[in-house]
Amino acid sequence: MSCKSFASNRYYADNTLEPTQGFAWDWSAGAGYYVEDSYLVGLDSYDDGIELDLSLAISYENFYLDFDHNQLSGGLVVGYSLIDKFDWGLDILGTNTQAGFDEKGLGIYNRGVIEELAGIKSRNYDFDAGLRLTRRFENSQISFEFLHDVTGTHNGWVFNTFFSHILPWRNWEFRSGVGISAYSGSFTDYYFGIDSDEATSNRPVYTPNGSTSIMFEFHAEYPISQDWVFLSGWLTTWFSKEIDDSPIISQGYQHKAKVGLRYVF
């Protein structure tokens, strides 16, 4: 028996962010066990736990909203499709690029002040908007995004390019992708720079220029019934020296892996 898993996000060739006739939506929910390391100083290089996996895709004509937590590269996306012809797509896009953090670490964890981060200012989540150009192939996709911060968080820009491929094999679906991102100097300095008010004897003033990162992602999914899907994934990100040299960065890479189940409604 073969069951469609409906797993997608904007980076993959089967993404659902396309114009529809009228209103359409679908969603899934589940949970998974994750293991990850952190690039911030003072945080445990090994962290694990249970997290909920929720995906919701809503579209109306050319407008769409997608929240994807199944793919490790997923997140909240809102957009409008300007062009969708001949396997090409051009969209206006809005999404979060960088998670915020402060002297307690990443905001998703409940912990006290971390000694190595004590005294740093809060770095807020951003929300970036811009254009996305996509070219789809049979089981592959390449995309280019130019986004600018619209919240006044860092007032910088981000350029993303990502190539992905989906390989069906029997009832399995394997997804792999590689992406390269470039960040403006104001983006890099806001999140990873150190100003004079934050400097200490062990944390010197640091003013970086623009930076880059490379991301590799792999997922495997298997429909164990008509509604239940087994999923697993791996995501690795490597940061350029402008980020790695920051006094609040412990390593120039980050890994995350997970396994879980989700129910497709």
Q: What is the CATH number of the domain that holds 113?
A: 2.40.160.40
Give me the domain span that covers residue 148: 33-264
Predicted local distance difference test score (pLDDT) of residue 223 = 94
Residue 19 within a domain: no
The rounded mean pLDDT for the chain is 90
Q: Which two tokens stand for residue 231?
A: 């999923």
Amino acid of residue 209: N
- In the block, which residue shows the tokens 């409940």? 110
Summarize pLDDT for 38-65 with one digit per residue, the tens.
889 988 777 888 988 888 888 899 999 9
* Calpha distance 175→40 (Å, rounded): 29
Residues 186-217 have pLDDT tens digits of 999 999 999 999 999 999 999 999 999 999 99
pTM of the model as a whole:
0.90
Contact 177, 164 (CB under 8 A): yes
* Residue 28 falls inside a structural domain: no
At 5, is the pLDDT very low, low, confident or very high (cuts 50, 70, 90)? Answer: very low
CA 143 to chain CA centroid, Å, is 14
- The number of domains in the chain is 1
Q: What is the CA radius of gyration of the chain?
A: 19
- 21 inside domain: no
Res 4: pLDDT: 41
Q: Which of 127, 119, 79 is nearest to 103 (CA)?
A: 119
74 near 58, Cβ under 8 Å? no
Q: Is residue 17 part of a domain?
A: no
For residue 183, how far is the Cα from the chain centroid? 15
